[in-house]
Every structure is written in structure tokens, then in C-alpha cells.
Amino acid sequence: MKRAFTLEYWQDDGWYVGKLREVPGVFSQGETLKELEENIEDAYKLLMEEELQTNHPVSQMKEILVEVA
């Protein structure tokens, strides 16, 4: 199964650094944007493997609307 995520990234001292907006805690870096994309995918997969091994439930997300006065 494939899922779509939003990669938020920036450059820091010549490195591409990024995180997945929808998955807190998934950060990585790379010398190129392509390398960052590969590394962030690996980081996500490692997180999911760890979740399955520890029997913690995988968190889910739902978008909600909040009324602001």
C-alpha cells in the first residue's frame, strides 16, 4: 500500500533537511533533494517497523474544523 505525505524541507548549511508534516518525529537530511526523499522514506519505514515490534497502535489522523471566535 502506498500513502501520500507532505515533505516539508529547507536547506541548512548546504544540506536538505526535512520532515513529514503528517507524521510527527520523522525527520531526515540529504545532500540532494532526492537523497532527502530516500532518507525520509527510510526513516518512516523504520518508525513503522518499530511501532509494529513494540505492539503500540499506529496513530491515525483526522482533520477537524475548530471554530475560532
The residue extents of the domains of the chain are: 1-69
The confidence band for 58, taking pLDDT boundaries of 50, 70 and 90, is low
DSSP state of 59: P
pLDDT at 55 over 80: no
- The two counts, helices (H) then strands (E), for the chain are 1, 3
Q: What is the mean pLDDT of the chain?
A: 89
Report the CATH fold assignment for 1-69.
Answer: Double Stranded RNA Binding Domain (3.30.160)
* pLDDT the model gives residue 19: 96
CB 36 within 8 A of CB 16: yes
Query: Whole-model pTM?
Result: 0.73
pLDDT digits (tens, 9 = 90+) for 8-30: 999 999 999 999 999 989 999 99
* pLDDT the model gives residue 56: 62
Distance CA 50, CA 9 (A): 24
